[in-house]
Structure 1
Amino acid sequence: MPKIDRQHALKHGHKSLAEFKDGYGIRYTTLQQRSREKFKQLYNIDYSRWGVVIGVDSEARYVTKQYVENFEEAKTHGMKSASKFPMSDASFNRHFTGLNPLAIFAYGDHSRYFGFDVDSKDQAPIHTLKIIRTLIDEGIPEDAIHVSFSGGKGYHVELFTDKHLHIDRWNELGAYVLHKSNLTGQPIEFRPNKGNGHAWKLPLTYHHKTGNFAAYCDLQTLEPFGVLESHDYLLRIQPVGIDDITPIITRAKAMQAEIQRKEADTKASQRKEQQKARQAVVITDARLFRTEDDKINTAHRLLTRGLVEQGTRWRATRELALYLFHIAGNDTETIRAQILEWTEKQIAAGLALTPIDQCAREIDAILEWIPTTDGLYSTVREISVTRAEIDWVTSVSNRYRRDLLWALLLRSKAYARNGTFYTSDRDIQKLLNKPRPMHFAVISKHRQGLVEKGYITADIPKNGYYEGLATTYRLLFEPVEEAEVIDSISFDDGLDGRALLRAIAAKMYEPKQLRAMKLA
């Protein structure tokens, strides 16, 4: 490190070295000595705890050191940070040469310095200039704002005061400045931070990885000064009066109170929305859902009277198989024999035209499917739809997918067991039949879209479309517990499922909301 000599004094407009030293109160002739004493004046340093770079090249890293009186005992108990001596003047000397760069902690819970650690990489210069501009706009004199280059990609913006300020107050100021700078959420930290748990890296050293000098910078351009100029800059730093800082903290407190008020309002609004989400409308007379009695009566009619027209043999076969398996409790071998006998009678009566050997193959295919159909004979439950479910359905932007999801929601409420239910495409068409049913190809296309978007799972049986087999569905939606019934609505064959959705939503939402949901 160079010494302060007469040439240096002349450069700064002084006639002699003595005059220069007297003007700045300098007691030492080396930059190390002078800057070390200036650091001590500006920072209230905790000499018993500090950070220091240990190692070289890629192994170099900051470690925390802590002075303890019983050093040997601390090392015996594995205290890796223990130091036999407190931070000393020699520590500052090694810092200036870049041998062991220093990072300091504030002493106690008050500080007479505060810094913004801007580590936004490519955005660091922009963010730094925004902070500087906000500080000036808030009334901090330009000559009280000091910027230094970290040596990596970031910057430090520092303030120094003539009196100590509680660290919490400093952090309130910091949060306020970031808010006013529109930098909240950016990778910018405060030092000392709340809890005083992170050290502040001092300038005027060499970065332990890049080798760049951590210089002070021009406030307007962020252009770094040279080594000598940076040490001279440090000498000229003067603390600002605490009266320049306290008005900003007052505004920061007011802002924080406003933020807390808005957060409280938001939470209250969220609680209201959660309460609304539990509102439900009960659907009465849901005649499109066949009850267990309906299905049993159909099976009895088929067994005693047979088919009434051609073209209904396969569906009737499936109805009989479901009844004989789930209600009568027969095994598949017995069911096969019963249905084959019944089929031969239908062929003899001219109501079935398919050859008996093909009918037998179709019966075998149905019997393979039957054991997976637990739930097709569920008793229809009281059906209620919550606002949360309406929100979920209408979150689908595509109109066809929304209608399909709505139909599946209704079917699940009637027949789902443990979240799983079975529905054929024809069942969906019954719910969406006005002004015209949704085509099978449209159902297939948009069912796949709902699967891909994570709304449902769908297990489609082989040849399900041609044979009218039901698809196994599960809705990926967590139902609302403890729903509050606010109204009821009737639903029968004369009402389309889409109209039912609009009618239920009209009981839960304001007209403006309905228009935004495109349901009005």
Structure 2
Amino acid sequence: MKPPKNNGQQAIIKKLNELYIQTRRKYLLQLPDNYIALNRDKMANVFSLNDGLLARHLNGVNTYGIFNGNTVNKFITFDVDFADDETMARWATLKLIDVLVSEFRIFRGDIHVSLSGSKGYHVELFFDRPIAAEAAEQFYHKVLAKLPEFSERNIEFRPTWGQGVKLPLGIHQRTRRRCWFCDNETLEPIKSFDYVLTIEPMDANIILDAVIELTDEQAEEFAEIVRSTDTSITIVDTSKALQKARRILEAGRLTASGTRHITTFTLACFFNSQGFDRAEAVEAIMEVLLNTPRDYFSKGSTPAFWRKETERLVNYAFDKDLTLGNADKQITIYKSEILAVLNVGTFRQKQLAYAMLVTSKRYGRVFYLTVNTAMKMIGTTSRQTVQNGIDKLVKVGFVEYVRKGEVDHAKSKELGRVSYKPNKYRLLIDKPAKGEKSIETNGNQDLVDVAYLLCTEDEIKSVVKRYEFVNRWAR
């Protein structure tokens, strides 16, 4: 395929500048047997790396390579090279891509592969802003640690200030092969110069998270902070983390600009605490993000990227079992609240009302409670029992739906079947009176035990049916 001309070539050169070029004063020139490093600051008669030279690169006249920005990288190249063993190079490249996707949650569409021109491959990640060269190299080493069958000799880190990397789409000066981009699943060459125009940089936070936030040691440190912080919500005692989650969920959107990343992570931990499954957590978080004005996000940030990041952080929180709202934390239960619980229907429905009361204490008056979590809390395997109980609690005015049966159109389209957003509830019982009798509990105590701590036997008898008292309450 012949190189594009005129405007087509200018568009490709512009894209190469945006993605690759970090310094124009120092660059590589490939010869048939080696590379020469050209440095305008140290060598006479050396031009800066300009668009004219990039045009010669695309036209196959000369072949150029670039260095990083000395202290920063705007992309990473994993240079896969097994000398003349093309089979090993192919296998290592596919394995590397799999690790980037499965271990580091990098969207496959953000992984770009090109032929090295001999028998190897360049696997590249481009960032929406430059990151510290040290952080880029740390990320490389973390990836390589997941590939123990390979070494730094086989998969090299590029570019640095001392070691450059050849630009794609040129001609390898020894083999005379064009260095096309490749399909990252099959490694088949994509023989089109226009592929580079489709590349969009990924959020640099994904790389920085892997280096700075998401190590096992720091995950344990985060877990320790959670363990050592009072994360319960009572009438007089709230944790910052849950207050934040509560405000966001009640508002239905982000409450401050520039907080998407930390908010997504906080809510991922919150929904793990609430017993959501991963898909439910992702959809609940996406609802918050999609309801947020666009000017709260960084320029160029897209819903597709939010979903990718949400899935990554939800998976991380669930894999590490990070939670907010530890079930062992103390909450305050008042006598009037227990009497309100005892006044609803069957014993199972009273148990469900108590579960909702405890949940609201921890997570706010408006709260989520999945059917699966409710089943565990009241000790039943019947989803219908829980649904009947919820219907009863709504009917008697114990709770109300804030949202019920709302179709998630985006997820339904994705799954090819109707899918619903998680239901939200609001507790409707009166607030306790000042000075009212209360107890401190971790929420795991039996409803019967809590009732007897707050009420007399006669008071319990007065609000439950006789046969229920005999079978469930008598002592």
**TM bucket normalised to smaller:** 0.3 to 0.5
Structure number, greater radius of gyration: 1
TM-score (ref. length: structure 2): 0.42
TM-score (ref. length: structure 1): 0.39
